Amino acid sequence: MTINATSRNDHGKEASRRVRNAGQIPAVFYGHGVETTAVSVEPKSLTKALSNPKGLNGLFSLTVDGSDATQRVFVRELQRHPVSRKILHIDLVAPNPEKEITATVPLRFTGRSIGVSTGGRMRKPYREVKVRALPDQIPGEIVIDVTNIDQGDAVYASQLDAGNGAVIYDRDFVIVKVAAPRGGNKK
């Protein structure tokens, strides 16, 4: 996926407002081997790039000012309007392809737990986890099948498979747990 951008010389709130009024999205491009540059991004190319299977964790090609040279980038930060959810600003980072990075990866739960079927309550305290891997090995999501989780059972972060050599980067913690119903176990 390619994101088309145009370099700009102005910075600050007013400059960003002018860029948005012109139908573009203000952005900053920085990272490994590149100079920090303020750019404006075409909304169509950005939306198309972000709709890939890896979402924000995907690597994209960035073309600045129609140049033939492209740079591999990922999204470091994306700011949205609190009501309209339109993208207000984006940070694009050129990673070092040989150095691991930490990224936030969403969790997706599938199946119906046997513990819930027998009256238990499922607790899912986390919607995402931090993963550490090379930039091109960051997964788009981690799928957790909860079908075999019974009352009193739990899945910990250390039990997740992030794939491609990626590791969960944090302490070990409960991802999903099925608690017994109040008043005791009513299996």
Residues 143-168: tens digit of each pLDDT: 999 999 999 999 988 888 877 777 77
In the chain the domains, ranked by start, together with CATH numbers, are 2-94 (2.40.240.10), 101-179 (2.170.120.20)
The model scores a pTM over 0.75: no
Q: Distance (Å, rounded) from C-alpha 66 to C-alpha 70?
A: 9
Rounded-to-10 torsion of CA 85, 50, 91, 109: 80
Report in angstroms the alpha-carbon separations of 103 from 61, 89, 163. Answer: 18, 19, 14
Assess whether pLDDT exceeds 70 at residue 186. no
Q: Distance (Å, rounded) from C-alpha 54 to C-alpha 140?
A: 4
Residues 81-113: tens digit of each pLDDT: 999 988 899 999 999 989 988 888 899 999 999
